[in-house]
Amino acid sequence: MIYLRPHHILCIQQFKGYGYNNIFVENMFNILNRLNEEQIIIKEDFDDICKKCPNLVNDVCISDGEIDLLDNKVLNLLNIEINKPIYFNDLKLYLSENLTEEIFYNICNSCSWYKKGFCNFKNFKF
Ligand code: SF4
């Protein structure tokens, strides 16, 4: 089972091998490699990606306000269900039916990775 917080369902599809450090990047590749084999559970606090992030200190995200905002936007704009196992292909299908370029912009425009140009709606492979 792979645990992801809401906004990370977008991040995993935008990932291009860049991250905070090597441990973070290695963990991202590990999760990506398991996406088509294991189910995903969306949870509301730190997840399998956060576990290897240098911003997680004593199980608390030190940029929590900003991260919570991103999670809330995904929950509100995409109506993602919490704590319900889902296969990645079904999640991608759901996103293809509900995620528009405008919604993506509204969720991601405040994120530093978006501002640096790493993330783009055209990168999604639904
Ligand atoms: S802009 Fe930020 S929140 Fe949005 S997909 Fe990229 S890294 Fe994730």
Q: Tell me the mean pLDDT per 10 residues along the chain, length 126.
A: 97 94 97 96 95 93 87 93 95 95 96 94 90
Q: How far is the CA of 63 from the centre of ligand 1 (A)?
A: 14
Cα separation, 126 vs 122, whole angstroms: 10
pTM: predicted TM-score of the whole model, two decimal places: 0.94
Domain that holds residue 67: 2-123
pLDDT at res. 63: 83
Q: How far is the CA of 47 from the centre of ligand 1 (A)?
A: 15
CB 38 within 8 A of CB 2: yes
CB 53 within 8 A of CB 11: no
Q: How far is the CA of 33 from the centre of ligand 1 (A)?
A: 19
Q: Does ligand 1 come within 6 angstroms of the Cβ of 67?
A: no
Number of structural domains the chain divides into: 1
Cα separation, 106 vs 7, whole angstroms: 12
